[in-house]
Amino acid sequence: MDLNLDAPHSMGTTIIGVTYNGGVVLGADSRTSTGMYVANRASDKITQLTDNAADSQVVSDYVRYFLHQHTIQLGQPATVKVSANLIRMLAYNNKNMLQTGLIVGGWDKYEGGKIYGIPLGGTVVEQPFAIGGSGSSYLYGFFDQAWKENMTKEEAEQLVVKAVSLAIARDGASGGVVRTVIINSEGVTRNFYPGDKLQLWHEELEPQNSLLDILNAAGPEPMAI
């Protein structure tokens, strides 16, 4: 069984891919913004390309088609590296029109779990972990401290959820819920973490049902004169 997915990162998002000792974990927030307008607060930014790949919107249509042809010709699914290089080629050949980078992650029987970063312009870089989108600028120092090799599946997913929640706390273009995808020899597992269950960070407000709940909350005592 081969498995591999990927996810897009543009200016307003947080997307993460992490390898662990048996596969990979991908994670993303769910806020889709158009300028200052939040067009979708619960979007799924990690979508499937084939039984072993996933990608983004228009690019994914092309990648699905070519990977399907590849599978028919060779009689087996494409590897993670083949999927990443196909996306790299499409990104490079259309670099003047595409405004998105991608993270490709997956598992195949030849190389196990792999993560590839494909930034704007169309190159491909194998990495033990990759982060992208506007929220990534808040996470590089965190990953320098928190990343370690040979993590368990549970440790890797916990790291991804924590990192996305940190980005949501700091980045106005990231938000909503956290979705994760675990890919290993057993298949693909999707998990969902609602926003009101995420860890709160410095100076974050507790989730409220309504703005009125915040306005009616007891404020600080007035200063005595």
Active site residues: 13
Rounded to the nearest 5 degrees, what angle is found at the Cα of 125, between the Cα atoms of 99 and 190? 75
Specify whether the CB–CB gap between 13 and 173 falls below 8 A.
yes
Please identify which residue in the block is written with the tokens 């259309």: 94
What does the DSSP assignment read for 128-160? Answer: SEEEESGGGGGTHHHHHHH--SS--HHHHHHHH
Starting at the edge strand found earlier in the chain, the sheet holding 112-118 runs: 3-9, 101-108, 112-118, 125-127
